[in-house]
Amino acid sequence: MTDLLGERLFVAAVTPMRADEAVDLDSLATLVDAEIARGVEGVYVGGSTGEGMLLSVEERIAVGREAVRAAAGRVPVVAHVGAMTTRDAVVLARAAQRDGVAAISMIPPLYYRYSTAEVTAHYRAVIDAVDLPFIVYNIPQFTGRDVVDGGYEELLALPQVIGIKHTSQNLFGAERLVARYPDVALINGFDELYLPARMVGATAAIGTTVGLQLELFRSMRAREAAGDVEGARAVQVRVNETVEGMVQEGVFAAVKYLVGKYAVECGPCRRPMPSLDQDGRARLDAVWERLLQNIETTRAEDRIAG
């Protein structure tokens, strides 16, 4: 089970769409293949980056199936199965198992104010419906709930729960989760906090920009492992230049555009998620050029050091 996560760098994959916002499965296959060729160590589909909550259940099942097919066993595929209803989440989880995903992951249910006991029951129903490792997706900025606040002890003690994808700036909370749940991996969710999260015990990472700047993430991991924290920090600064430039344009539209530079055109986002305009694309061209320079610089430094 720990093998599945380890220190793996997972790309949170976008869901390519055609101009009419229909899901483009052919481009998804091309994307998954290109990301693996680039060296990503895992693929996470149907999450925030993948606009999972903007897709129908059928579309999400098709995305998971196509990603597994394209990955062809080279790296694990994790499917996000969070949904408004327990019923839909169970359907997604069962399909994910049938189609060969390595693990599933899930946000808590949205909109209504459920108690932690009700949220736990939702999680349990999905976990019990399949025989798959499970990753709790903690993203308080979107869900209004935070695992750090407590109340999820029963959930986190389940043997199926192998990790928490922590997409939160709360590093104290992250450290407390690591301390309280040593058997549950803390997976970094904010690319801009990869190194700081590693410092408090995060192991793997799942992120929007992991594919784009994979070499930088690998370099950070290697430098940190070699005890060169200052060097790793210098790379985090470079990663954050990219993240800042993307967040200014809307990170999901931005990543759809930028993966087109090395993989495949991924089209617009599904409304109401905004897409880019011409000026946004031009600004991202500059972000991309800067990223290429940053990769070159990092490579050169690592060559000298290594």
∠ at Cα 51 (35, 127), nearest 5°? 90
The dihedral through the CA atoms of 173, 204, 190, 241 has a sign that is positive
Cβ atoms 31, 16 nearer than 8 A: yes
Q: Of 245, 243, 225, 244, nearest to 302 (Cα)?
A: 225
Q: Describe the crossing of helices 278-305 and 251-259 by its angle, rounded to 10 degrees.
A: 70
112 is known as an active-site residue: no
Return the exposure string of 16-52: e unless at least 16 CB atoms fall within 10 Å of the residue's CB, then b: bbeeebebbbebbbbbbbbbbeeebbbbbbbbbbbbb
By the rule CB under 6 A, 35 interacts with ligand MN9 = no
Cα radius of gyration rounded to whole Å, the chain: 18
Catalytic residue, candidates 123, 152, 165, 257: 165
Position among 15, 27, 49, 120 found at the interface with ligand MN9 (CB under 6 A):
49
Catalytic residue, candidates 44, 123, 137, 181: 137
By the rule CB under 6 A, 10 interacts with ligand MN9 = no
Position among 105, 167, 236, 275 found at the interface with ligand MN9 (CB under 6 A):
167
Instruction: Pick the piece of the chain touching ligand MN9 (CB under 6 A) from 62-70, 144-152, 205-213, 232-240.
Output: 205-213
Q: What minimum distance in Å lies between the beta carbon of 82 and ligand MN9?
A: 12
Q: What minimum distance in Å lies between the beta carbon of 304 and ligand MN9?
A: 29
Position among 187, 243, 258, 266 found at the interface with ligand MN9 (CB under 6 A):
243
165 is known as an active-site residue: yes
Question: Looking at the annotation, which residues are catalytic?
Answer: 137, 165
Q: Which residues bind ligand MN9 (CB under 6 A)?
A: 12, 48-49, 167, 189-192, 207-209, 243, 247, 251
